[in-house]
Amino acid sequence: MASRLAGSLALFFLLASIAVLIAVAVVQVHKRTYESAGQRFGIVLDAGSSRTTLYLYQWPAEKENNTGVVSQNLSCLVEGPGISSLGQDSIQDQKTWSSLKNCVAKAREAIPPSLHSNTTISLGATAGMRLLRSQNETASDEILQSLENYLKGLPFSFRNASIISGEEEGLYGWITANYLKGNFLERNLWNLWVRPHGGETIGSMDLGGASTQIAFNTPLDEGVGAEGFIRVWLYGYGYNVYTHSFLCYGKNEAHKRVLAALVLAKKSPSKTVENPCFPVGYRTNMSAADIFGSPCTEQRPVYAPHEQFLLVGTGDPAGCRAVVHTIFDLQSCHGLANCSFNGVYQPALSGHFLAYAGFYHTANALKLNRSFTLDLFNSTTFAFCSKNWTTLTANYEIKEKYLMAHCFSANYVYTLLVEGYKFTAETWNNILFEKTVDKSDIAWSLGYMLTLSNMIPAEPKLLRLPMDNSVFAGLLFMFSSLAILSLMFLIISLVRVCY
């Protein structure tokens, strides 16, 4: 009688355990398929000074607030100049618009139609539009309005179209760099134990066409309330990010300033200007408007806009470095600790730095890879600047307008990093020149989207539901053991009944 009761009990436990096992597995598998089906997309238009780029980002919906789950699905370069040039030439405008529409169509094709209305779209304009706004606010407002009207007419969920500030641009770049590098930890019970102050972060240096940004994390008590510091809370950890954006110190505007300095310094009344940053054998005509027509190079009434100059390369690296030097105001930092240039406060550099966009392109043009010494950078620059135009065109398959500017760029990068930001031969080794991380471009646009969409919560949940894999495995183990034990018990009691 007793063994019969024990047998029924064992049978009951066996069936119950199997039922629970099936239930747990079904829930988990269901969750899994739901997750893999649930992708989300977001589009950001990075409207730079010299060009616009469309980025399409993608991530699993259920994990959208987790660290490092967003990746770049595609990027599309809009042909033509930056949006700040819209409204100046109707033929060029048409080309720009049709290329923009092509990029949007590409993104549209990459997103399943059912998710279009769930996909956010934003446009952020940077230094080119900051400069235009300073010259003519009506014109910049009109451009943004026409773009906003266009974006609102698309089947996506429109978020924003605006000019972002230089400090925001720097901060978003820093967020992107650290997000892609996987440096943001989530403050959970385990991380609080091993990393009470969060993980190590990397500094960010961006070089665009019209502005350049530096941003890095500093100790929490540094520069409290001072200009240039932004406090952010990400996944439960606090960061104190120093950031500064130098307007007119992007690669193209800095180049114009160097050309302007050369033209203004020429002594003879002739229209020929020797340029030590251009290679020997290279000569080109430029109008006064090309050089002085930007807010970054004060318009000198001495030159009529159509006046032409003949620039003749002398391929002199030391001379190039000397003229690049003149566009930096190092005097106003003289004697001050913690100062970069133009009298701007900058705390002591620390940790590693990611140098992307124009920094990467300059290193890449010199055929230098990722990380190299300052000595090597200098010797490569000098060798490059000393090559004549015939040798350069034979050895580099780069468009003329880029190739002729690389000697300038290399000297500019040196002067900005070493004389400006104060990198030394030693700290230079902490700089990584990179363009992408795991096929996602390092660009402020990703940090901008993450921030606009609240995808980086200030405070994470310490405990997360539904269950993660370790909990699932634990339950599986517990109920499987119970089932096996019940089965053994059942067999034993059946054996007893039979004999």
Ligand X SMILES: *[C@@H]1O[C@H](CO)[C@@H](O)[C@H](O)[C@H]1NC(C)=O
CB of 138 to ligand X, least distance (A): 4
Q: Which residue in the set 24, 139, 261, 476 belongs to the binding site for ligand X (CB under 6 A)? A: 139
State which residue, 131 or 417, has the beta carbon closest to ligand X. 131
Q: Which residue in the set 36, 98, 136, 332 belongs to the binding site for ligand X (CB under 6 A)? A: 136
CB of 139 to ligand X, least distance (A): 4
Size of the site for ligand X (CB under 6 A): 10
State which residue, 357 or 455, has the beta carbon closest to ligand X. 455
Give yes or no: 142 in active site. no
Please tell me the number of Cα atoms within 13 Å of 312 on its side-chain side.
7
State which residue, 69 or 261, has the beta carbon closest to ligand X. 69
Separation of alpha carbons 150 and 156, rounded Å: 11
The region of 135-143, 247-255, 264-272, 281-289 touching ligand X under the rule CB under 6 A is 135-143
State which residue, 40 or 251, has the beta carbon closest to ligand X. 40
110 binds ligand X (CB under 6 A): no
Q: Which residue in the set 60, 87, 223, 319 belongs to the binding site for ligand X (CB under 6 A)? A: 87
- Contact pattern from residue 392 through residue 431 relative to ligand X, giving x for each residue in contact according to CB under 6 A and a dash for the rest: ----------------------------------------
CB of 226 to ligand X, least distance (A): 30
CB of 233 to ligand X, least distance (A): 12
Say if CB 333 and CB 343 are below 8 A apart: yes
Tell me the Ramachandran region of residue 54: left when phi exceeds 0, alpha when psi lies from -120 to 50, beta otherwise. Answer: beta
Of residues 47-76, which lie at the interface with ligand X (CB under 6 A)?
A: 62, 64-65
Q: Which residue in the set 33, 114, 138, 268 belongs to the binding site for ligand X (CB under 6 A)? A: 138
Separation of alpha carbons 193 and 488, rounded Å: 42
Separation of alpha carbons 444 and 451, rounded Å: 11
Q: Which residue in the set 74, 371, 457, 485 belongs to the binding site for ligand X (CB under 6 A)? A: 457
CB of 317 to ligand X, least distance (A): 40
- The alpha carbon dihedral of 180, 186, 192, 194 has a sign of negative
454 binds ligand X (CB under 6 A): yes
35 binds ligand X (CB under 6 A): no
Separation of alpha carbons 412 and 258, rounded Å: 10
Q: Which residue in the set 89, 142, 375, 400 belongs to the binding site for ligand X (CB under 6 A)? A: 142
Catalytic residue among 167, 169, 186, 253: 169
**Residues noted as catalytic:** 169
- List contacts with ligand X (CB under 6 A): 62, 64-65, 87, 136, 138-139, 142, 454, 457
